[in-house]
Amino acid sequence: MKRLLFFVGVYDTLDLFIYELKREFEHLEYETMIFDVREMGESLKKLVQFIEQPVEAAITFNNLGFNMELHPGKNIWEELHIPCINILMDHPFCYHTALAAAPRNAVVLCTDRNHMNYVSRFYPNIPIVGYLPHGGKETGGAKPPIKERNIDVLYAGGLSSSFAEKMIPDLSKYSDINVKKVCETTYQRLIEYPHRTTEEVLEEVLLEQGIQYEDTKLAEVIADLHFIDLYAVSYFREKTIRILAESGIEIMLYGAGWENCSWINRPNVSYGGRVSAEEIVEKMKDAKIVLSTMTWFKDGTHDRVFNGMLQGAVTVSDTSVYMKEEFCGFLHSDQIDERELVMFELPEISSLPAQMKELLKDDLLLQDIADRGYRKAKENHTWQNRAKELKTDILDNQEIMNYLHQLPC
């Protein structure tokens, strides 16, 4: 029996993903172990016992345990000759230090194809890089039909501008560039051209100032300045919810950072603060529409999209290259309505309230879209699907696994 090790213990959302993968791998007849970083002593004892027999791989999200050491200066996965599969839910520029010090037997999987290309370019020390979209979780129990649901629009996601300021490093070290101008120009350009990536625009602005860094240095600069990305995300996220609120649409809103918005006390906005990932997924079963905005993923997805679909709601989301390839999400006047979700472009947010009101007028239309979306997500976009993809593409790929297990460490 093949054996896998999983990491949990920091973020409830990521733990939810891990337990979904764990459950499916056990169905696929893998033996598994959970390493909980909140209980390091006990988990290390379990690990010592678990590695008495061969372990196929360690699987983690967002670097948890990725750079772990038992002996100073020696990565544990290199020492144990166990490949570590690190699935990034955020842009890799958030994790520059961890990726630069990745174990030599690492696999890094990204939820956006641009991120995959970013890792390949800036972290050539990582031998295997790939793309793995988000997955969704379907809760148990009955899913009420659209007409019986009590929430018109549910949105769950934080307003990252509330903590972006805390992420700004000491920029005085950039004496060779006008760093304030670089940041301001990059931000304005992202707002004007929201289909572009932060790293693409930032490099472009630097070149316009006559600054051309080697990739090693450029990766450090992008990591330092990635707070610009948070401000751009927040700009469109706040704008999306605000125009819906001001239009009178009933919204159930969750997440940190919204409390200071001037419109938060409108009678049509119910603000529930931050709640657990499990609770959000459960609440989606009472929503007619689950609204999603990407975290500046221009060629990837977000789990809100699939979670909404799998709870029988209609997902409404901004677009990405991958989303347009994967889903029927736009209404074409000369075709029968075959939408599996509803997509919108960020520059066209002003038309969103009218679209949402039109949808909310017609429970039968919403039900048709929700049913198609559920079938598509159930067939292709659960964490069970992702576990099978991991198995087929990596764990059962003897060329990859032999390479990773035989790397000199």
Q: Quick check: 32 pLDDT over 60?
A: yes
Of 228, 247, 264, which residue is a domain's last? 228
- Encoded amino acid at 160, one letter: S
User: 64, 10 in Cβ contact below 8 A?
Assistant: yes
The identity of residue 315, as a single letter, is: T
Rounded Cα gap, residues 128 and 217, in angstroms = 22
**Is there a single domain that holds both residue 195 and residue 291?**
no
154-163: pLDDT as tens digits: 999 998 777 7
In this structure, the answer to whether residues 158 and 168 fall within a common structural domain is no
Element (H, E) at 273: none
Question: What CATH number is given to the structural domain containing 307?
Answer: 3.40.50.2000
**Predicted pLDDT of residue 61:** 97
The per-residue pLDDT for 122 is: 98
- Among the listed residues 290, 338, 337, the one whose alpha carbon sits nearest the alpha carbon of residue 310: 290
Are 296 and 353 members of one domain? yes
Structural domain span for residue 354: 146-162+230-381
Structure tokens at 153: 């629009």
Is residue 69 in some structural domain?
A: yes
Instruction: Give the total number of structural domains in the chain.
Output: 3
In the structure encoding, which two tokens stand for residue 72, read together? 């100073």
Beta bridge partners of 58: 5, 84
Residue 315 to residue 304: CA distance in whole angstroms: 8
In this prediction, residues 302-327 reach a mean pLDDT of 96
Is 409's pLDDT higher than 80?
no
The proportion of the chain whose per-residue pLDDT surpasses 70, expressed as a percent, equals 98
Q: 119, 110 in Cβ contact below 8 A? A: yes
Determine the Cα–Cα distance for residues 205 and 211; give it in Å rounded to an integer: 9
Model confidence at 36: pLDDT above 90: yes
Average model confidence (pLDDT) across the chain: 94
Say what the pLDDT of residue 303 is.
Answer: 94
CB 87 within 8 A of CB 109: yes
Tell me whether residue 353 is in a domain. yes
Q: Are 60 and 87 in contact (CB under 8 A)?
A: yes
Band (333; pLDDT cuts 50, 70, 90):
low
Domain membership flag for residue 140: no
Indicate whether 141 belongs to any domain.
Answer: no
Note whether 258 and 322 are same-domain residues.
Answer: yes
- Tens of pLDDT, residue by residue over 359-369, are 999 999 999 99
pTM attached to this predicted model: 0.94
Express each pLDDT in 369-396 by its tens digit: 999 999 999 999 999 999 999 999 999 9
Residue 291's SS3 state is strand
Q: Is the pLDDT of residue 332 over 80?
A: no
In the numeric block, the tokens 């501008």 are attached to 161
Residue 223 lies in a domain: yes
Which residues, in sequence order, are bridge partners of residue 6?
34, 59
Contacts of 144 by beta carbon, 8 Å cutoff, 6+ apart: 285, 286, 312
Instruction: Indicate if 334 and 395 belong to the same structural domain.
Output: no
Q: Which two tokens stand for residue 54?
A: 């061969």
**Residues 152 and 204 placed together within one structural domain of the fold:** no
Asked whether residue 330 carries a pLDDT value surpassing 90, the answer given is no
| Residues 235, 194 within the same domain | no
Residue 239 lies in a domain: yes
d(C-alpha 404, C-alpha 366), whole Å: 48
Q: Which two tokens stand for residue 11?
A: 């973020």
Main-chain phi, psi angles of 172, to 5 degrees: -65, -15
Predicted confidence band at 172 (pLDDT cuts at 50, 70, 90)? confident
What CATH number is attached to the domain comprising 13? 3.40.50
DSSP code at position 28:
T
156 and 292 belong to one structural domain? yes
**According to the model, what pLDDT value does residue 282 have?**
95
Residue 315 sits in the same domain as residue 333: yes
pLDDT value of position 142: 87
Last residue of a domain, one of 191, 213, 228: 228
152 and 181 inside one domain: no
Domain boundary among 212, 228, 244: 228
Same domain, 116 and 45: yes
| Residue 80 sits in the same domain as residue 203 | no
**Per-residue pLDDT tens digits for 66-117:** 999 988 989 999 999 999 999 999 999 999 999 999 999 999 999 999 999 9
d(CA 214, CA 294): 30
H or E stretch including 3? Answer: strand 3-8
Decide if pLDDT at 48 tops 70.
yes
